[in-house]
Amino acid sequence: MSAGKTAVLKIGIPGGLLYYRYGRLWRSFLEELGAQVVESGETTRSILSSGVSKAENESCLPVKVFYGHVLALKDKVDALFVPRVVSVKRKTHTCPKMLGLPDLARAACEDQVPIIAPTIDFQTGLWSNYQAVYSTGRIFTDSPTLMLRAGLKAWREYRRYQRSLKEGLFPRGRLELDPRRRLCSGNELRVAVIGHHYNVYDTFTTMSLLDRLRSMGVDVVTADMIPERLAREELSRLPKPLYWSYEEEIVGAILACSRHRLVDGIIFIISFPCGPDSIVRVICEQENRRLGGPPMMTMVIDEHTGESGFLTRIEAFLDMLRRSSAVREREKVPSLA
Amino acid sequence: MGSLEVVLSSIFDQMGVDYILPPPNSQRTIELGVKYGPEFACFPLKTTLGNFIEALEAGADTLIMVSGRGPCRFGYYAETQRRILEEAGYDFRMYMLEFEPERIPDLLRKLRELKQGRSFLSLARAIKFAFAKAVLVDRLEKKALAQRWMDREKGATTRALKECYRMIREADTYASLRKVEREAFQLLESVPKEAREPVRIGIVGEFYLVLEPYFNLQVEEQLGNLGAYVERSVYLTDWLRPTGNNPVGGHSDAESDEAARPFLTHFVGGEGIRSVGHTVLYQRMGFDGVVHVMPFTCMPETIAKSILPRVSKELGIPVLSIVIDEMTGRAGVATRLEAFVDLARHRRKAKMRGERPQPVPGLL
Ligand code: SF4
Ligand code: SF4
């Protein structure tokens, strides 16, 4: 390794929001540059409650959780790493909250820790993203080669993680996938759990939904596992294109499930009061009805969601699905003959 | 009748196109919007949905709405509302006007249908004339904000302003508009005034809510009646001609962004960054407080609201955020405004006496 500029810097990556998507990329990039990465770990009750008390009441649940992770890290690190992810696909944006995230993080920790906030924007082409890499890399090294190598390595790491999500490996912990366990194992009942990564894969706020479904003998399909081609087809059918990067994935996945009956039921997870989701919910529910898709349940979660009520609703939904898919089985037999 | 109606109806009047103005905003507008609108959609989406339903009930068969592309929800209002109204069984056509460069051909096609046989030239003229009206409306509103606190009799300026709206609406040529301009300013001037000790308050916040007195619970008027000289950050003309110049308000977007920079460094949709920037600008201009109005769940303004306490603390200017939706009670807002103006006045007096400014009390 070429010489670092300073002593080893401790960089904290708050484990909320886009961490669930790019955490591996960020971690690998920073470590390759010679930083010591500190993470905030699983969301816990105390992380949630410190976030809730610090954040504005009007914020969405994931932002409150994010605040909690920032607070958990701020005294342990030399700087926080909170990239500003503006756009990850042409003609789309992320949500306004993500556009302002580094500034929110600054407000959350009251400027007590510096924040490294490169801007990622795929609408402006590769150059500005190279600048993002460079501006971060410069903190640690003078060597552009090292930066590029770190960037490429991180990218490969990210691709590997995405691939495993696509293959349906079971998310064992934060950004950890269990190579021996899968979300689908040929069970009779198959349910799609669709929502933002930070909702679906946060075991605390969703009360281990994926794990529970698996142990109830239900196959789970996430948005990552839906063939991209099908999702893209659905998006191109919309009368007005969407302009939020991550909502596109959600809508595409749900509508693909509806049209092709990929699953027996859909659980759509929304956090309160998510702006983009409040809009795409209308599209998903309407189109699912129109396409005669499987039963769909929209679960709105917030910091007050109680475990028992949550589970009761899930169980009732599964019961309903079991009954209706039993009916379908019976109908299927004569048609086969 | 609000400022937006004055301006829009002018376009149709000039074109000689048949149109229906939805009934004025009312409790029923809100109720309809809440009933049909999606849960935790932003408040303006619900109220405009309510307006559409009332217009359809009144016999409209064509709806016109602007549409766009993010990052905030507004760009998707029209499409969402179309879906909801169609599913509710209403029969109508919706024209979504999009102003992005690559959508211009589509825009022209829609305008061709809408102008009902009139020429594009007359459409352009009508729009230009409407814009002239908008500028006048904005200037009069600005004047009203600046003088309401001196009213000898409460409500006199507001009444005069309403009268001005009416006069503007009736003007149908540039000549008559110029006459109205003179008369309207005279009318506002002639409101009996009384010498008072002012306190200076700025208003920032989400565009639609700031502009629509019925929905913002008349904050401007309430503040004026409490004795505050008021300026506000956004005007209708900023939106009709989005050059970023803020011709009536007087502070360009660039200036505001620059002022926001220590606190918020990136555009976050809507007026988010301007709410922060203008708060800083008001502080620089020696204002005594800033009132921030935002719809519940509004994303850009939630960001602003998270950041404004820092601005307030670091610069020592009191900021009051008022979050509004269908549940907001008028009485509660009135009490908070009153307490806020008191606080601002108190701090102002202390400053006049040359005392060291007291720290701004935490969250208001
Ligand atoms: S997309 Fe929704 S949940 Fe995610 S940050 Fe934005 S508002 Fe919050
Ligand atoms: S600025 Fe706020 S109120 Fe307006 S569309 Fe965006 S989220 Fe809704």
Residue B315 domain flag: yes
Of the candidates A315, A274, A301, A279, which has an alpha carbon nearest to the alpha carbon of residue A63? Answer: A274
Tell me, yes or no, whether A97 and A201 share the same domain. no
Domain boundary among the residues B78, B98, B114 is at B114
Residues A136 and A117 sit within 8 Å (Cβ to Cβ): no
CATH number, domain containing residue B230: 3.40.50.11900
Residue B268 domain flag: yes
Question: How many Å apart are CA A144 and CA A93, to the nearest integer?
Answer: 29
What is the arrangement of strands in the sheet containing B289-295, beginning at the earlier edge strand? B228-232, B199-205, B289-295, B319-324
- State yes or no: pLDDT of A276 exceeds 90: yes
Tell me, yes or no, whether B69 and B162 share the same domain. no
- Find tokens 């499987």 and name the residue: A294
- Interface pTM, i.e. ipTM: 0.89
Tell me, yes or no, whether B29 and B154 share the same domain. no
Residue type, B62: T
Q: Which two tokens stand for residue B100?
A: 């992005």
Report pLDDT for B1.
47
Listed in sequence order, the residues at least 6 apart from A308 whose beta carbon sits closer than 8 Å to its beta carbon are none
Tell me, yes or no, whether B351 and B235 share the same domain. yes
CATH number, domain containing residue A131: 3.40.50
Average pLDDT of the residues in A148-162:
92
Q: How many domains does chain A have?
A: 2
Question: What is the band of A154 on the pLDDT scale with cuts at 50, 70, 90?
Answer: very high
Residue B146 domain flag: yes
Q: How many domains does chain B have?
A: 3
Residue B13 domain flag: no
Q: Does B310 touch chain A (CB under 8 A)?
A: yes
Q: Are strands A169-173 and A176-182 parallel, antiparallel or unpaired?
A: antiparallel
Q: Which of B299, B303, B305 to mutate to test the pocket of ligand 1 (most atoms within 8 A of CB)?
A: B299
Q: Which domain holds residue A208?
A: 189-331
Tell me, yes or no, whether A325 and A220 share the same domain. yes
Tell me, yes or no, whether B26 and B154 share the same domain. no
Describe the crossing of helices B104-114 and B120-147 by its angle, rounded to 10 degrees. 90
Tell me, yes or no, whether B362 and B228 share the same domain. yes
- State yes or no: pLDDT of A297 exceeds 90: yes
Residues B322 and B219 sit within 8 Å (Cβ to Cβ): yes
Question: What is the band of A238 on the pLDDT scale with cuts at 50, 70, 90?
Answer: very high
Minimum mean pLDDT range among A82-96, A276-290, B112-126: B112-126
Question: How many Å apart are CA B68 and CA B254, to the nearest integer?
Answer: 22
Residue A175 domain flag: no
Tell me, yes or no, whether A150 and A220 share the same domain. no
Q: Which residue of B has its CA nearest to A280?
A: B80
Tell me, yes or no, whether A237 and A147 share the same domain. no
Residues B352 and B363 sit within 8 Å (Cβ to Cβ): no
Radius of gyration of chain A (CA): 21
**What separation, in Å, do the N-terminal and C-terminal C-alpha atoms of chain A show?**
69
- Find tokens 């998903």 and name the residue: A284
Task: Kindly report the three-state secondary structure assignment for every residue of chain B.
Answer: CCHHHHHHHHHHHHHCCCCCCCCCCCHHHHHHHHHHCCCCCCHHHHHHHHHHHHHHHCCCCEEEEEECCCCCHHHHHHHHHHHHHHHCCCCCEEEEEECCHHHHHHHHHHHHHHCCCCCHHHHHHHHHHHHHHHHHHHHHHHHHHHHHHHECCCCHHHHHHHHHHHHHHHCCCHHHHHHHHHHHHHHHHCCCECCCCCEEEEEEECHHHHHCCCCCCCHHHHHHHCCEEEEECCCHHHHHCCCCCCCCCCCCHHHHHHHHCCCCCCCCCCCHHHHHHHHHHHHHCCCCEEEEEEECCCHHHHHHHHHHHHHHHHHCCCEEEEEECCCCCHHHHHHHHHHHHHHHHHHHHHHHCCCCCCCCCCCC
pLDDT, tens only, A127-141: 778 888 888 888 998
Report pLDDT for B2.
66
List the Cα angle A60/A61/A67 in 5-degree steps.
95
Domain boundary among the residues B139, B168, B195 is at B195
Q: Does B21 or A149 have the greater pLDDT score?
A: A149
Report pLDDT for B127.
87
For A115-261, strand residue ranges (E) read 115-116, 119-121, 169-173, 176-182, 189-195, 218-222
Q: Which domain holds residue B127?
A: 122-195
Question: How many Å apart are CA A243 and CA A247, to the nearest integer?
Answer: 8
Q: Please report, to the nearest 10 degrees, the dihedral formed by the alpha carbons of residues A237, A239, A244, A248 taken in order.
A: -20
Residue type, A258: S
Beta-carbon separation of B264 and A100 below 8 A: yes
Report pLDDT for B236.
87
Residue A214 domain flag: yes
pLDDT, tens only, A44-72: 999 999 999 999 989 999 999 999 999 99
B37 lines ligand 2 (CB under 6 A): no
Q: Does A104 touch chain B (CB under 8 A)?
A: yes
Report pLDDT for B361.
60
**A196 CA → ligand 1 middle, Å:** 8
A274 lines ligand 1 (CB under 6 A): yes
Q: Give how far Cα A133 sits from Cα of A33, A52, A143, A172, Å.
A: 11, 32, 12, 30
Report pLDDT for B229.
95
Report pLDDT for B359.
67
Question: What is the band of A335 on the pLDDT scale with cuts at 50, 70, 90?
Answer: very low
- State yes or no: pLDDT of A333 exceeds 50: no
Tell me, yes or no, whether B190 and B219 share the same domain. no
Of the candidates A193, A189, A183, which has an alpha carbon nearest to the alpha carbon of residue A267? Answer: A193
Residues B266 and A84 sit within 8 Å (Cβ to Cβ): yes
- State yes or no: pLDDT of A7 exceeds 80: no
Q: Prior bond to B71 cis, omega within 30? A: yes
Question: What is the band of A125 on the pLDDT scale with cuts at 50, 70, 90?
Answer: confident
Tell me, yes or no, whether B106 and B171 share the same domain. no
**Touching A: B residues 144-173, CB under 8 Å:** none
B232 lines ligand 2 (CB under 6 A): no
- State yes or no: pLDDT of A148 exceeds 80: yes
Residue type, B6: V
Task: Report which secondary-structure segment, H or E, holds A108.
Answer: helix A101-108
Listed in sequence order, the residues at least 6 apart from B304 whose beta carbon sits closer than 8 Å to its beta carbon are B204, B264, B268, B271, B272, B273, B275, B276, B292, B294
Report pLDDT for B240.
77
Residues A270 and A281 sit within 8 Å (Cβ to Cβ): yes
Report pLDDT for A312.
93
Residue B109 domain flag: yes
Ligand 1, atom 5: nearest CA belongs to which residue? A97
Report pLDDT for A328.
65
Residues A287 and A250 sit within 8 Å (Cβ to Cβ): no
Q: Does B360 touch chain A (CB under 8 A)?
A: no
Residues of chain B falling short of pLDDT 70: 1-2, 70, 357-364
**Cβ contacts of A121 on chain B, cutoff 8 Å:** none
Tell me, yes or no, whether A137 and A81 share the same domain. yes
Residue B2 domain flag: no
B16: left (phi over 0), alpha (psi -120 to 50) or beta: left
**What separation, in Å, do the N-terminal and C-terminal C-alpha atoms of chain B show?**
32
Residue B42 domain flag: yes
Residue A171 domain flag: no
Tell me, yes or no, whether B141 and B202 share the same domain. no
Q: Does B95 touch chain A (CB under 8 A)?
A: no
Question: How many Å apart are CA A161 and CA A200, to the nearest integer?
Answer: 16
Tell me, yes or no, whether B250 and B302 share the same domain. yes
Question: How many Å apart are CA B232 and CA A19, to the nearest integer?
Answer: 39
Q: Which ligand lies nearest the alpha carbon of B300?
A: 2
Give percent above pLDDT 70 in chain A. Answer: 95
Listed in sequence order, the residues at least 6 apart from A1 whose beta carbon sits closer than 8 Å to its beta carbon are A34, A146
Local structure of A121: helix, strand or coil: strand
Q: Measure B261 CA to nearest chain A CA, in Å.
A: 10
Question: How many Å apart are CA A22 and CA B169, to the nearest integer?
Answer: 55
Question: What is the band of A302 on the pLDDT scale with cuts at 50, 70, 90?
Answer: very high
pLDDT, tens only, B335-355: 999 999 999 999 999 888 887
Report pLDDT for B219.
94
